[in-house]
């Protein structure tokens, strides 16, 4: 069975989202594309909330969200109680987000990273496991 990954982006992240979808489908993943579907100006919460909801409702699911700076869509996702979305701009940050913070969504800043950087971070994010241990205690303190 293919691993299902929800993905969403605003207009600034549309092009990168399409590249990510193609990359992950070639690796055997199944993507649930929540949009957007063009570069026409839209509101990032409309595409961040559905990804966050799906991750929140499904244990061990990882999601991907993309906007221009990564900030707006990341803030949106983190409003969901069961979500730990991490804004990543370097591969090491994506790795630590999973290993130390048990992040379940990666947020990418499309206007500030290359396609190669994005794909490397996503591959890392999807392959690295949470270390638990001392990090679990900290993660347990995140929710309000």
Residues assigned a catalytic role: 67, 100
> Which residues, at least 6 apart from 137, have a Cβ–Cβ distance to it below 8 Å?
none
Contacts of 62 (CB under 8 A, 6+ apart): 5, 55, 104, 105, 106, 125, 126
Q: How far is the C-alpha of 139 from the C-alpha of 30, rounded, in Å?
A: 28
């Amino acid at each position: 069975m293919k691993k299902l990954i929800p993905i969403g982006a605003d207009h600034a992240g549309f092009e990168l989202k399409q590249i990510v979808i193609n990359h992950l489908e070639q690796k055997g993943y199944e993507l649930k594309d929540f949009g957007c579907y063009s570069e026409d100006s839209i509101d990032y919460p409309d595409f961040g909330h559905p990804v966050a909801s799906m991750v929140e409702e499904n244990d061990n699911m990882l999601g991907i969200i993309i906007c221009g700076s990564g900030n707006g869509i990341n803030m949106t996702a983190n409003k969901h109680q069961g979500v730990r979305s991490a804004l990543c701009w370097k591969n090491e940050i994506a790795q630590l987000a999973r290993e130390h913070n048990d992040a379940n969504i990666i947020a990418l800043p499309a206007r500030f990273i290359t396609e190669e950087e994005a794909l490397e971070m996503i591959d890392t994010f999807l392959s690295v496991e949470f270390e638990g241990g001392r990090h679990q205690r900290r993660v347990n303190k995140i929710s309000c």
